[in-house]
Chains A and B, each alone.
Chain A
Amino acid sequence: MADLVFWIVVGVTIVSAAMVVQSKQLLYSAIALLFTFVGVTGLYIFLWADFIAGVQVVVYVGGILVLIIFGIMLTNKITSVNISHTSVQRGIGATVVLGILAGIGFMIINTPWYQVAATEPEQTTETIGRLLMMDYLLPFEVASLLLLGALIGATTLSRKED
């Protein structure tokens, strides 16, 4: 049963990701991106990463996707229903990407991965919090500075000059 659910989640993720890069209409791409993010959330749940799964839904689905749809709406005339966008150089692109995929697949199969058995933890949030406040305090503070910079930068860039 869990196996079946896992492969369904994988299928949703990959197929909707393919729709993101293939769809002729920009809004359809954005909606397919929603399903990709939800599928990745399912993968996190299978990987016992409950906190990351929650953050994925809040930040990606609730934040970045809304930003992207706003971007689509602000850069097109609202009256043009078919916001189409085309792809170029599909042949070359597909060849390059399939080559890279073959290389990565070869590497994945032939590498003896370091693996340690583990039991499912009760929760992950407490451990993540401890790590953020102790081992990774400096990156944590730098990330807050980065977010402040991004906030100010985005407002300055998109403001009308007066």
Chain B
Amino acid sequence: MDSLTNYLFVSASLFCLGLYGVITRRNAVAVLMGVELILNSANINFVAFARFSGMNMAGHVYALFVIVLAAAEAAVALAIIINIFNNFKTINVDDVSQLRQ
């Protein structure tokens, strides 16, 4: 368990699962979940590199900034999704390919 590559592989798997979700899901909320998985995998990488390069705390600070960005992104994305739902009555991202109704 005390090896950098283990964490890197976990993070790579999370990233790929998130990417798979973003590619294959058609519900906008599910796409957002895939994005959250990708951000989490990036965070694992930051913290793992911090731990294995002599407890370099700058990695933790960057992980905090990523969490802040993820929170802001989720709030704005859900506001946009609810707006789309009010206008189009669907949140299937394939049906919402135009900027106007």
Contacts and interface: CB of A to CB of B under 8 A. Distances in A.
B10 A13 contact: yes
Contact of B40 (A37, A149, A155): A37
Contact of B23 (A67, A93, A104, A155): A93
Contact of A132 (B8, B61, B76, B85): B61
Contacts of B63: 49, 52
Interface residues of A, number: 84
Nearest to B14: A17
Contact of B53 (A36, A72, A114): A114
Determine the main DSSP class of A at the interface with B: helix
Interface in B42-64: 43-44, 47-48, 50-55, 57-58, 60-61, 63-64
B5 A109 contact: yes
Given A87-B26, A114-B53, A52 B47 contact: yes
Interface in A51-89: 51-52, 55-56, 59-60, 63-64, 67-68, 70-72, 74-75, 85-89
B21 to A, nearest CB: 4
A56 to B, nearest CB: 7
A14 B16 CA distance: 11
B101 to A, nearest CB: 14
B26 A88 contact: yes
Contact of B76 (A97, A121, A157): A157
A87 B94 CA distance: 12
Contacts of B67: 52, 55-56, 59-60
A4 B76 CA distance: 39
Contacts, number: 228
B4 A21 contact: no
B59 to A, nearest CB: 9
* Most B Cβ at <10 Å: residue of A37, A48, A158: A158
Interface in A89-134: 89-90, 92-94, 96-98, 100-101, 104-105, 108-109, 113-119, 121, 124, 127-128, 131-132
A89 to B, nearest CB: 6
A85 B32 CA distance: 14
A118 B24 contact: no
Contacts of A118: 51-52, 54-55
Contacts of A86: 26
B29 A26 contact: yes
